């Protein structure tokens, strides 16, 4: 779904927006640096813009014509920067304001998934730590449970709580982050991820972490021992089911460009969508680039394809 041709992009000043103000700043710096290198290697005029409170002035000063959003977390993945770029009439990569905002809010996204018949683990939410603690003996499902902040990414603030005591301790940490507290029924199974690019499911990769689950360390720390299997060694029907569920999630939120969905497959073969990432990581350990590479799309080509699809969505 290209908006720009290769020749048109070579006439543009490309701003790679990175860093930002969220808890995922370091990940974003890595993503942005990798993207900027790849785009420069394609002969494009690229400037890296570390996004702070002066971002609007920076975009004007740098004469940015088109933006590659390499941000993660609050203010970058949640519709905020998308709204600014819309108001400045600067085409940008990825999803628009609404899809970004809803995709970042795990509770709102789950409500849409349920409305579209997309399977997702049972859940409940609490506005404050006090509410979450008070409900410890009245949760609608047994331990273990998964506790996470509703508006963070990269597994920031996520805990698997096997006991009442672990839950109460985890509430303190999770409540430090953005959004309400989301408590999910723990679904045991294989962790897989599916990439969607321009309304096409690219395929499924299985993540085999050495840690208890695919947390922040497993995702971003070199030598974490995490293994990646592409294509995921699944029965054909399960593989296709993951592809379809991920594509359905992408479409249900009205996403654009590339997304990555986190999915669990139970021992009985049931598929559960955990969440969708509207701005997937683009570091050397990130999964969308690994999936794309498995389909013959190298990293520079993936970056170029995402940039060619940059547009205004409002």
Active-site positions? 24, 154, 220, 260, 262, 275, 277, 281
Q: Based on the number of CB atoms within 10 Å of its own CB, is 108 exposed (0-12), middle (13-18) or buried (19 or more)?
A: middle
Q: What angle, rounded to 10 degrees, do the helices at 299-308 and 287-294 form?
A: 100
User: Counting Cβ atoms within 10 Å, is residue 109 exposed (0-12), middle (13-18) or buried (19+)?
Assistant: buried
Q: How far apart are CA 97 and CA 74, in angstroms?
A: 13
Q: 72 with 22: CB under 8 angstroms? A: yes
Burial of 162-197, coded b for 16+ CB within 10 Å and e otherwise, reads eeeebbeebbeebbebbbbbbbbbbbebbbbbbbbb
């Amino acid at each position: 779904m290209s908006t720009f041709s290769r020749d048109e992009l070579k006439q543009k000043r490309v701003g790679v927006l990175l860093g930002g103000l969220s808890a995922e700043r370091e990940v974003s710096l890595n993503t942005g640096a990798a993207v900027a290198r790849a785009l420069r290697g394609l002969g494009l005029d690229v400037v890296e813009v570390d996004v702070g409170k002066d971002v609007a002035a920076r975009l004007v000063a740098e004469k940015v014509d088109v933006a590659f959003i390499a941000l993660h977390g609050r203010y970058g993945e949640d519709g905020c920067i998308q709204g600014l770029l819309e108001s400045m009439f600067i085409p940008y990569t990825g999803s628009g304001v609404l899809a970004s905002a809803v995709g970042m809010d795990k509770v709102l996204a789950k409500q849409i998934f349920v409305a579209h018949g997309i399977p997702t683990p049972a859940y409940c939410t609490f506005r404050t730590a006090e509410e979450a603690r008070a409900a410890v003996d009245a949760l609608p499902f047994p331990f273990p449970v998964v506790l996470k902040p509703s508006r963070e990414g990269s597994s920031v603030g996520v805990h698997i709580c096997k006991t009442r005591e672990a839950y109460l301790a985890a509430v303190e940490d999770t409540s430090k982050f953005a959004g309400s507290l989301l408590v999910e029924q723990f679904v045991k199974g294989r962790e897989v991820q599916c990439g969607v690019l321009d309304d096409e499911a690219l395929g499924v990769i299985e993540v085999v972490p050495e840690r208890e689950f695919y947390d922040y360390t497993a995702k971003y720390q070199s030598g974490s021992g995490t293994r990646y299997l592409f294509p995921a060694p699944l029965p054909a029907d399960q593989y296709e089911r993951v592809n379809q569920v991920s594509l359905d999630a992408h479409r249900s939120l009205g996403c654009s460009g590339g997304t990555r969905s986190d999915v669990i497959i139970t021992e009985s073969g049931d598929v559960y969508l955990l969440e969708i990432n509207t701005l997937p990581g683009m570091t050397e350990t990130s999964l969308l680039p690994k999936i794309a590479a498995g389909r013959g799309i190298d990293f520079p080509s993936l970056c170029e394809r995402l940039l060619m699809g940059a547009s205004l969505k409002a």
